[in-house]
């Protein structure tokens, strides 16, 4: 039985990788490049999402900090106020997450620009956006769809970091100096 389970596990992994690869091939890379251009111009960047999309957001916030950019997670005790010249990056597969949409709306009320990364460009969250970055994940199984969205979004945002690192001329020593060392 373990051999059958290992085989099934490998097949599930291959299937997931194939779906992620297909979605990455359909991504509008120009929109991610536009995001990479906006980030260093923002006075502060706030990244938000709920659930696993929230984990992707937090990971991207950490990468922005590694790039030397002022990045914050709404709700954390050390997060400053937002305002004009700031940017909020909101991540949600369905664009239906109330918490994320609320924060996007609030950020706009305070004059911040809002970028929404979603699979649903006509969603309530997307309607709050100044720019929508579509990650075209689709699947009748919401669990599979969300997993493909989250992994693809994470990879795309790591690519954004790589572009930023090149543009900002971040060397390995500067990266290491900003990397957590109390863990």
The catalytic position among 5, 76, 150, 183 is 150
CA separation, residue 40 to residues 109, 165, 172 (Å): 22, 11, 19
Q: Which two tokens stand for residue 148?
A: 């493909």
**Cβ atoms 150, 84 nearer than 8 A:** no
| Annotation marks residue 183 as catalytic | no
E strands within the chain?
Answer: 45-49, 71-72, 87-91, 113-118, 131-134
| Cβ atoms of 60 and 35 closer than 8 Å | no
**Catalytic machinery residues:** 150
């Amino acid at each position: 039985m373990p051999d059958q389970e290992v085989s099934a596990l490998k097949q599930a992994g291959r299937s997931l990788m194939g779906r992620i690869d297909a979605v990455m091939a359909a991504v509008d890379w120009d929109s991610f490049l536009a995001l990479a251009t906006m980030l260093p111009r923002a006075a502060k960047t706030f990244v938000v999402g709920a659930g696993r999309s929230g984990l992707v957001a937090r990971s991207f916030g950490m990468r922005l900090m590694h790039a030397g950019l002022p990045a914050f997670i709404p709700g954390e005790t050390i997060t400053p106020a937002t305002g004009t010249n700031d940017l909020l990056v909101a991540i949600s597969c369905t664009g239906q997450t109330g918490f994320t949409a609320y924060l996007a709306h609030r950020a706009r009320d305070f004059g911040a620009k809002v970028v929404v990364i979603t699979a649903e460009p006509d969603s309530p969250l997307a309607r709050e956006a100044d720019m929508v970055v579509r990650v075209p994940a689709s699947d009748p199984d919401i669990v599979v769809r969300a997993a493909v969205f989250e992994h693809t979004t994470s990879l795309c945002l790591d690519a954004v970091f790589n572009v930023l690192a090149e543009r900002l001329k971040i060397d390995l020593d500067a990266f290491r100096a900003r990397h957590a060392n109390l863990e």
